[in-house]
């Protein structure tokens, strides 16, 4: 298998973190230069179908894009440690929090960076109002996660799951626009410190 990666984008880091948590070391990493437009070249598009990273080439006939889909495939191929759920109830709870982490927190933070960091003007028609609105949405969402983390050591379970990976990589990416969770969010900040202390946090940074 080949994993098409970009160190400048947040979604590939989700997969790198996921693989690090599982100890997956037999997947070839291929770096894609998105600022150089490599993800738009015919050879890459023929595999991925869209100018998106990351992508996982499973074999000559199958390449998967979308970070969560890639991680679900890897979960099936490398089932331990489990990061998506061990039974129907747990799987549903993890899915719920994974979607919340994606929609309420990570996506707004990515939009805040895309529309707020000067370097990304090279690949994005920036609208400052979009950056500000999404930043505020993420700040509101963090209050939801703080309440959740007051009752659970991790976002979706008693261990790290895909929900934690999506949330922490989104927050970390937002450092580009000097975003930090408010100091009063004690539970979020406790969880964030624990996530960043994990060996997998160093994956690909």
Q: How many CA atoms lie within 13 A of 185 on its CB side?
A: 20
Q: How far apart are the C-alpha atoms of 90 and 187, rounded to whole Å?
A: 22
**Residue 122 above 80 pLDDT?**
no
Exposure b/e, 163-193, CB count within 10 A at least 16 = b: bbbbbbbbbbbbebbebebeeebebbbebbe
Q: Are residues 163 and 155 in contact, defined by beta-carbon separation less than 8 angstroms?
A: yes
Q: What would the pLDDT profile of 48-71 be if each residue is shown by its tens digit?
A: 999 989 999 999 899 999 999 999
Question: How confident is the model at residue 30, as a pLDDT?
Answer: 95
Assign domain 2-77 to its CATH architecture.
3-Layer(aba) Sandwich (3.40)
Helices (H), the chain: 10-22, 42-48, 67-77, 88-100, 107-116, 128-149, 162-173, 186-196
For residue 120, pLDDT beyond 90: no
Query: What's the pLDDT tens digit per position in 149-170?
Result: 999 999 999 999 999 999 999 9
Is there a common fold for 2-77 and 88-202? Answer: no
pLDDT at 204: 64
Query: β-pairing, 62-65 with 55-59?
Result: antiparallel
Domain boundaries, the chain: 2-77, 88-202
pLDDT for the residue numbered 37: 86
Among 102-106, 123-127, 153-157, 159-163, the minimum mean pLDDT is found in 123-127
Paired tokens of 112: 């805040």
Q: Which residue has the higher pLDDT, 149 or 124?
A: 149
CATH for the stretch 88-202: 1.20.1050.10
For residue 76, pLDDT over 70 is answered with yes
């Amino acid at each position: 298998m080949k994993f098409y990666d970009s160190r400048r984008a947040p979604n590939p880091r989700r997969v790198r973190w996921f693989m690090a948590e599982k100890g997956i070391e037999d997947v070839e990493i291929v770096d894609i230069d998105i600022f150089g437009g490599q993800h738009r070249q015919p050879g890459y598009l023929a595999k991925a179908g869209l100018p998106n990273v990351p992508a996982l080439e499973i074999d000559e006939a199958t390449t998967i894009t979308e970070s969560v889909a890639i991680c679900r495939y890897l979960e099936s191929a490398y089932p331990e440690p489990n990061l998506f759920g061990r039974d129907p109830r747990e799987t549903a709870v993890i899915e719920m929090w994974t979607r919340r982490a994606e929609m309420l927190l990570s996506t707004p933070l990515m939009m805040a960076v895309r529309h707020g960091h000067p370097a990304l003007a090279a690949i994005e028609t920036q609208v400052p109002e979009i950056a500000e609105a999404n930043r505020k949405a993420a700040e509101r969402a963090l209050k939801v996660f703080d309440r959740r983390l007051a009752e659970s050591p991790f976002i979706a379970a008693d261990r790290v799951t895909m929900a934690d990976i999506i949330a922490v990589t989104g927050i970390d990416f937002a450092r580009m626009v000097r975003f930090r969770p408010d100091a009063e969010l004690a539970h979020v900040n406790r969880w964030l410190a624990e996530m960043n202390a994990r060996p997998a946090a160093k994956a690909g940074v």
